[in-house]
Structure 1
Amino acid sequence: MNAPHPSKVAGIDSTLPPPAHTVAPASGAPGGTAVPAPHPPAPGALLQDRLAGWVSDLTTLHELTERLARTDALDEALQELLRAGAALVGARRGLVVLEPADGLGPTHTVGLGLGRADLGHLETVPRGALAYGPYVRRDRPGSSKRPGPYDSYGSYGSDSGDAESHGSQDSYGSYDTPSARAAGTADGELVHRDLFTEDGLDPRHREVAARLGYAASYSLLLCTESAGRLGAAVWLYDEPAEPDERRRHLAGLYVRHATEHLARLVEVERTRARMTALAEELLPSRLPRVAGVELAARHRTGPRGGGDWYDALPLPDAALGLAVGSVTGSGPGAIAAMGRLRASLRAYAVMEGEDPVAVLSDLELLLRLTEPARTATALFAYCEPALRKITLAGAGHSPPLLIGEHRTEFAETSVSAPLGMLACWEAPSAEIQAEAGETVLLYTDGLLHRTGDPTDRAFARLHAAAASVPRALRHDPGAVADHVLRTVLPDGLDTADSHEDVVLLAARFD
């Protein structure tokens, strides 16, 4: 009777070599004492042992993929990939090189147990000679293959172990090198068992390996059919070594899942970059030069792209118009609405800028007619630099902050509703008389919201930050804005991911 063939369990390939849960009994004993032959294993014991190994492997993969799934930033996910992969293949150090094959970025090189200087040393090795080089070099012209290292769950795309047959595949960027053939490759992986005895290894690679103290490497391509080629992950061994078949199998399954997760984060990163670029293009690239006043602006865009904006434009009679505002929502729609409102406000300011209430009234009517589903806050100030006089009106916007040698206070403005909230918006204007050397700071609510504090505490934090501007910095509106930004949002919150945009517009009067 044929022995029963174990079936697949929970999608795990039954051909995976079992882990060493069962230890073979000794064949003899010291002194030549005969040892009775071991009893044959009980029926089903081998299958149970295999099942226990598969369950253990499934549990390990589940825990690692769960940890990876909790990452929502690209750098964090790359670090988690390196840590999990090192545990699976039994390495201590490694690096991951993210270079999407489409050339659209983003590109990252992240190390595990490797400092920036170590990564710099690796960059001195010719790219094609590095362990990850074959996987991140561009395809040859005319190559239409799209590498897919795995063709089914748990099985590698090629059963052949012939290094020569894999060393010439164009889909991985032409890595038919002596070192690759000597090391032995399979679809999606590259093994250097001993870098110091391997034939054909680039001398610079050997020199850098000796300097950094690693003697072997194991590389996996970051590629799936849906995600395409994203780059490669490399793990480094201190001594000549290579992972066994079981470790390689588990690492391959994990990296396949990680590549899909990384592809999603790459797309998020690209979208964020596009939104930031679009928002920046819709905002003034240069602030005007007007006698009697000096300007500076700071802008931080959230990951989704928001609708916060600012503007400064010269007006007739040597006047200056200043504006800040925020459109509700995020993404391309909010950015487009922000661009339309800003352009419209510029036109209204030129026609009737000396009356800020009329400017915002016209803007509110436009918003109700063209963006009925949106609301916006806005503040427009008509400045006369020669007189240091400011006439302003706000629609649901926070009051400006006056920062000077003898006072730091919020300007007195009337409470009003945001644009688009009422059938007909109307609010009285307010006047501010600035002193020589004082800076008027306009800002959006994102500055307050990013603190995470209640509104009253956020305003108190902003006031304290403005009051603490060193005297040596008060002559520079850019330095004033930077100090306020860093003080209100410490610990890198001014650059950290946040759903809120931040805008500061500072005007210092001579």
Structure 2
Amino acid sequence: MGVCDAIERREAAGKPAAMSAPHVPKVAGIDPTVPAPAHTATPGPGIPAAASETGTPIQDRLAGWVSDLTTLHELTERLARTGTLDEALRELLRAGASLVGARRGMAVLEPADGHGPTATIGLGLAHADLGTIETVPRSATSYGRLLDGLPGGPLPEPRPSLADRRTPHDHGAEGAADTPTAAPGAVAVPDLLGDEHLDPRHREVAARLGFAASYAVPLTTEGDGRLGAAVWLYDEPAEPDGRRRHLVGLYGQFASGHLARLLELERGRAEIAALTEELLPTRLPRVPGVRMAARQVAGTLGGGDWYDALPLPEGALGLAVGSVCGTGPGAVAAMGRLRASLRAYAVMEGEDPVAVLSDLELLLRLTEPARSATALFAYAEPARRRIVLAGAGHAPPLVVGDRRTEYVETSLSAPLNMLACWEAPSVDLDVEPGETVLLYTDGLLRRMGGSADSAFTRLHAAAASVPKADRDDPATVVDHVLRRVLAAGEDAADRDDDEDVVMLAARFD
């Protein structure tokens, strides 16, 4: 056969039937179709020509499954990297919108046990828009019925979309058996403006905000029950087909489990924060000649950072900050014991800070030999503006005034319980009228990230940048410094948000 004969036979073959075979629609913006191989000539006698037509739907279906699994894997990995409830809810809305083909939505976190926390997050909706939606009677909204478990009502029950109802006719009995179903408990309202059974206020709000359809899914787990609901809003009358419903249902199951874990962590952090707040001073004492302010920024895991200020005989004042190693309830409990012990030692021998810390080190070594801690105690005489202080492995205080902003040179020493017997010389400090002494814990340095030298430099720069007009108020000084040093900077990747931060300021008149 010559070249011309081959060309004639190739032209006679025409467009292969495999190229015009039906393809499944895109899912989540990914086209799962795989082109079937095209023949260059008419099959010879005795070779069944329908073989490629039979295999094409199977290949397309397998390609669709692979695409779905890839999409879910990417979206669930992104969700798993979120570490807070707020971040998880926002990622849930973004991923769900891509799966159901919507542009806006809202997620409501409302655990069924009533113990909180609760939150409402919007996607493409301003805070005022969320408030407008909340003016609709709760029982008339799809997410409200999901949260309250209300059966029946004017909202349509979950049902196959129009595309799903056409599937059995397009692909036969086998295709009908493989048609994905909607997520359990999901509610689709394909035409909010045209459904006369809906609450009039619901239709009014939908028209005002410019959405015409919604699709809502519950966020629930077997062990924790109902955690909340997510609803996505369409600009035009629409509803997701069965395949998209199936995908968002699977994603919602994973998201519910992730939210349940984050909810448990959030409640644990809240309990530790409440316990820490109870163990710290409820208010600072009033001592003539000095004004004080304190701030505590809790870490994500809860730690043992603390502060204290107590009046002593003859108009003196005891100032202390410290940090117990570790995190969680154990560290918080140890912090409470250490702070109470230091108060007792300060009352007995506060004029000698070295003796106070030596007694504290002995107590810690005898009662908790496996735990270490840092501490700084200062004995202040406001009338003389004189301070005697000693530190055990603790960062030096910072003096802020109109004429100077400098660290106090303290002697180097190991943390408590790190040596057989702790003892380090004390340091005398004279402060000028209007100067503020800042005592802080090491967690502040670790929160800033980077090296220790860069952290000290940033802290010094923040203290020096306090406007002169604000230096009369110790609370304003503390807030300014913390705001500057805890803001995200070039070392944001090295920041450790698990660390507690404590700062105590004393301004001498």
- Structure 2 unpaired stretches of 5+: 1-22, 27-31, 35-48, 161-181
Partner of 1:26: none
| 1:430 alignment counterpart | 427
> 1:176 aligned to 2:160?
no
The answer to whether 1:230 aligns with 2:227 is yes
Task: Tell me if the contact between 2:158 and 2:187 (Cα under 8 Å) persists in the aligned partners.
Answer: no
Supply the distance in 1 between the matched residues of 2:334 and 2:389 (Cα, whole angstroms). Answer: 23
2:59 is paired with a residue whose SS is helix
Paired position in structure 2 for 1:68: 79
Distance in structure 2 (CA, Å) of the matches to 1:465 and 1:43: 73
Which of 93, 98, 102 is the aligned partner of 1:87?
Answer: 98
Match of 2:112 in 1: 101
How much does 1:297 deviate?
A: 0.3
Aligned length: 443
Selected match of 2:137 from 126, 133, 137: 126
SS of the residue 1:239 aligns to: coil
Which deviations, in whole Å up to 9, do the C-alpha atoms of 1:356-378 show, x marking residues without a partner? 11111111011111211111110
Could you tell me which residue of structure 2 aligns to residue 46 of structure 1?
57
Residue number among 322, 328, 332 corresponding to 2:329 in the alignment: 332
Code of the residue aligned with 1:199 in structure 2: it is E
8 Å contact 2:405–2:460 — kept in the other structure? yes
- Residue 49 of structure 1 and its aligned partner are, at CA, apart by 2.9
- Structure-1 residue corresponding to 2:345: 348
1:472 alignment partner in structure 2: 469
1:3-40, Cα deviation, whole Å (9 max, x unpaired): xxxxxxxxxxxxxx9657789xxxxxxxxxxxxxx958
The reply on whether 1:114 has 2:90 as its aligned counterpart is no
CA contact (8 A) 1:323 1:379 kept: yes
Matched residue SS, 2:96: helix
Secondary structure in 1 matching 2:142 = coil
Q: CA RMSD in A?
A: 2.2
CA distance in 2, matches of 1:267, 1:22: 42
Mark the CA change 1:46 to 1:490 in structure 2 (over 3 Å): closer, same or farther. closer
More helix by share: 2
Q: Residue 204 of structure 1 corresponds to which residue in structure 2?
A: 201
CA offsets per residue over residues 73-98 of structure 1, 9 Å max, x none?
22221111111111111111111111
Q: Where does 1:376-387 land on structure 2 (aligned, <5 Å)?
A: 376-387=373-384
SS of structure 2 residue aligned to 1:431: strand
Shift of 1:57: 1.5
Q: Give % identity.
A: 70
Aligned residues of 1:18 and 1:54 also touching (Cα < 8 A): no
Contact 2:33–2:63 (CA under 8 A) maintained in structure 1: no
Q: CA deviation at 1:45?
A: 3.9
* Match 1:293 to one of 290, 306, 312: 290
**Contact 2:448 / 2:496 at 8 angstroms: preserved in 1?**
no
Distance 1:176 1:43, change over 3 A: closer
Instruction: Return the TM-score normalized by structure 1.
Output: 0.83
Q: Is the 8 A contact 1:309 1:503 kept in 2?
A: yes
1:392-411 superposed matches below 5 A: 392-411=389-408
Query: Given residue 60 of structure 1, which amino acid in structure 2 is its aligned partner?
Result: T
Offset at 1:44? 4.2
1:283 to 280, 283, 289: 280
Query: What SS class does the counterpart of residue 285 from structure 1 fall into?
Result: coil
Moved more, 77-86 or 40-49: 40-49
Residue 501 of structure 2 is matched in structure 1 by 502
Q: CA deviation at 1:41?
A: 5.9
Question: How far 1:437 moved relative to its partner?
Answer: 0.9
- Tell me the secondary structure at the aligned position of residue 61 of structure 2: helix
* Large movers: runs of 4+ above 6 Å: 20-23, 182-186
Q: Give the secondary structure class of the aligned counterpart of 1:287.
A: coil
